[in-house]
Structure 1
């Protein structure tokens, strides 16, 4: 089978790679792996999804698998991934399942699993689930009958509970702020505008009419052009963009310039240190974060811990070290006092609250990070391991690192969710970064050509 789980759950083209049969198998294995067998009551699972049409099909398969394993199911419908994680903790469920491929295009879908408390699964637990599926353990597991079969109920007010939770975290009201929010025709479409309005902001929502087919379609956190234009047109103080399952937040300033996850992290870190809530004056980021963030935090006296790419690794470090703030350049921001996973709407609220508290513009706040020119090339490949590890690729990378010296860096890594190798180069100038990145990308393409 190969490794089923990537850096953010199981992903693939819905009904081709990620079939209802596989979804059911994952659900059954997760129920047996995560639910305690000696409880006096059946295990409880929370199941949510984003707006993809395929989510309806996969939801049915997952619910059937969980119920067949004896788990009771609370269906929460279309909600952000962090809302599902929150509700797992809120209702004291044994596990949660979110059906989403996040920022990926509509034909893809995915399965994200949460353990009790709403925490993402560590690698070893995912491997246990994968091994059980591969061994067809379901064929020998006890299958309850009669009253032992799990029951299925709909939780109709899950969104209300989640929004109330989000608004309760805001230290400064957002009155007087005008924001344009790009909901990516995804799970943020209902929740984000309501949360921002209830916190006091004037909200203009765009891309908030999901039809099952338009999620992430030239909109959301990966496509900012329409948001930039809307912010300028409406004279808004800022724009906020979410991805399909609303676990990301990136922003644009009043004049349309992007503010990415690194800059948001810096803004929040400085505010939290001022408030005395940045535990041990320490921030967690990944190896993809711009060198500018490292320099800004060092100048401010804030320690920066690096992890592998993936918000799950940021989360693991936050939990292990008891820290309060971490995230990724892509806009996955984790505020561990309020959430167990990256939460785009929570991040948007905290970012605007910082603007309101200081009276400063987003552009002014974000200027604390002087970003080094950075080029990221996503190279389609036939085999991610070969593409990233071929001798010619490694040699080209070593040569580039020698050229850059202390004025930049190279990061080469296979994607955890797509057939891509990511080539990232930082350098003193954009032109030099582009030249170096293209040179390495060419070697990756030669080492493992993409499938036709």
Structure 2
């Protein structure tokens, strides 16, 4: 059965539309509460959110669903997604839910779900919840005396703050570094500045004035112009930009340039290997990871395994292979030594530790290998539009010989937005653009005929 609610990273949609509203939040609370009620102990769920105005509405509905199912609810307020994963374990909860639409603008929102081990739910568990949400009614609710209660966790931020700082070497300080921090007017706006300031850094903070409607607006990982200018004007050592829920980051070097996500992943991998902390000398990337990364890693004795796109799939492959590090070019970096999901604050602390240890600039540390040229296009479609494997394979077969043995074509439907993503990669940037234009035209033509 085609999923109605869950995509590749939980549930996401435009607020008060048929894809995301209070009724769906209520059903999610009821269904997930039922699925995760196991045994006779008092069951608990941790709920966090980013700074979207719709977070209040969805939080209330979600809380109602969970308490109706018999679960006690711990409300943590605006905190990063990885903080929810951490607190789910720390508070011995059965489930964690983050209310967020990540890097999207305020009109969208959604839910990311974590199990009691702090890891995102598997496809099977999501399907189990979805099946219940699709039921006409959820039966066997507890009697009045067994419904749950809700309480605020007033020290949620301070708990996560200390957890994050503990991943940074306790003999190091950041006194010699000047850092620009962009909190995207999102979930990290309180905790991120405190982390870096308490470790001694000279910080300049932007994107820390959320009003419910300005999350990711001209700031954050998808809009880095402001932080790039700020780094140069302030003569800072680097900039750190978070997305709306602070599970991914973009690093800006001292020259105001974005550091490519694959360069960042390679730098962290090299640093961990040098410390004998890189399990099996292997890391997990995705099908979108640059060919340059794939060619560089064996030169320093590291293997690359590719997973499907999405940090959830990266983590699943990491656990399957028993490795320490994984990440995506978009800035999701997962370090299993410390966390169970993408954590932008903890990843940035490992970057800063490398700067302190190597006594080099971030541009020097990440200038490790040349990147293959990539051309990207996002093609709008309806959520119901069909794009089957036979069409994708046909489009790739038609063009792959032009790119040569080292070229790649990736065509995939997004699991979080109604778009088809196309990526062409080779050593020839002009050829990439030509092929991208041809394939994009054929996909648009297909959707036009389909509709």
TM-score (structure 2 length as normaliser): 0.96
Q: Which whole-Å CA distance do the structure 2 matches of 1:30 and 1:347 have between them?
A: 30
Name the CA shift for 1:55/1:151 in 2 (closer, same or farther; >3 Å).
Answer: same
- Counterpart in the other structure of 1:439: 438
Provide, for residues 360-392 of structure 1, a one-character-per-residue CA deviation record: whole Å limited to 9, x for no partner.
11111111131111111111112576246473x
Provide, for residues 258-282 of structure 1, a one-character-per-residue CA deviation record: whole Å limited to 9, x for no partner.
1132111101000000011000111
Matches within 5 A, 1:402-441: 402-441=401-440
- Counterpart in the other structure of 1:209: 209
Q: Does 1:448 align with 2:447?
A: yes
Count residues in correspondence: 447
- Counterpart in the other structure of 1:375: 375
Name the CA shift for 1:315/1:450 in 2 (closer, same or farther; >3 Å).
Answer: farther
1:343 Cα offset (Å) = 0.4
- RMSD over aligned Cα atoms: 1.7
Provide, for residues 158-179 of structure 1, a one-character-per-residue CA deviation record: whole Å limited to 9, x for no partner.
1001011111111243221111
Specify the SS of the correspondent of 2:141: coil
1:450 Cα offset (Å) = 11
1:149 to 144, 147, 163: 147
Specify the SS of the correspondent of 1:410: strand
Does the Cα contact within 8 Å between 2:297 and 2:303 map onto a contact in 1?
A: yes
Q: Which whole-Å CA distance do the structure 2 matches of 1:256 and 1:62 have between them?
A: 41
Q: Which whole-Å CA distance do the structure 1 matches of 2:388 and 2:2 have between them?
A: 18
Does the Cα contact within 8 Å between 1:385 and 1:414 map onto a contact in 2?
A: no
Q: Does 1:128 align with 2:128?
A: yes
Matches within 5 A, 1:275-290: 275-290=275-290
Matches within 5 A, 1:261-276: 261-276=261-276
Does the Cα contact within 8 Å between 2:250 and 2:258 map onto a contact in 1?
A: yes
Q: Which whole-Å CA distance do the structure 2 matches of 1:68 and 1:440 have between them?
A: 50
1:207 Cα offset (Å) = 1.1
Specify the SS of the correspondent of 2:220: coil
- Counterpart in the other structure of 1:339: 339
- Counterpart in the other structure of 1:8: 9
Does the Cα contact within 8 Å between 2:385 and 2:450 map onto a contact in 1?
A: no
Q: Which whole-Å CA distance do the structure 2 matches of 1:373 and 1:288 have between them?
A: 12
Does the Cα contact within 8 Å between 1:282 and 1:302 map onto a contact in 2?
A: yes
Specify the SS of the correspondent of 2:404: helix
1:35 Cα offset (Å) = 2.5
Does the Cα contact within 8 Å between 2:14 and 2:107 map onto a contact in 1?
A: yes
Does the Cα contact within 8 Å between 1:46 and 1:97 map onto a contact in 2?
A: yes
Specify the SS of the correspondent of 1:397: helix
Does the Cα contact within 8 Å between 1:324 and 1:335 map onto a contact in 2?
A: yes
Q: Does 1:169 align with 2:167?
A: yes
Does the Cα contact within 8 Å between 2:54 and 2:109 map onto a contact in 1?
A: yes
Specify the SS of the correspondent of 2:304: strand
Q: Which whole-Å CA distance do the structure 1 matches of 2:448 and 2:201 have between them?
A: 49
Does the Cα contact within 8 Å between 2:68 and 2:141 map onto a contact in 1?
A: no
When structure 1 is superposed on structure 2, of 252-261 and 341-350 the one drifting more is: 252-261
When structure 1 is superposed on structure 2, of 425-434 and 60-69 the one drifting more is: 425-434
Matches within 5 A, 1:54-69: 54-69=54-69
Does the Cα contact within 8 Å between 1:388 and 1:414 map onto a contact in 2?
A: no
Matches within 5 A, 1:11-410: 11-16=12-17, 17-36=19-38, 38-39=39-40, 41-138=41-138, 140-146=139-145, 148-171=146-169, 172-383=172-383, 386-387=386-387, 389=389, 391=391, 394-410=393-409
Q: Which whole-Å CA distance do the structure 2 matches of 1:56 and 1:337 have between them?
A: 34
Specify the SS of the correspondent of 2:243: coil
Q: Which runs of 5+ in 2 are unaligned?
A: none
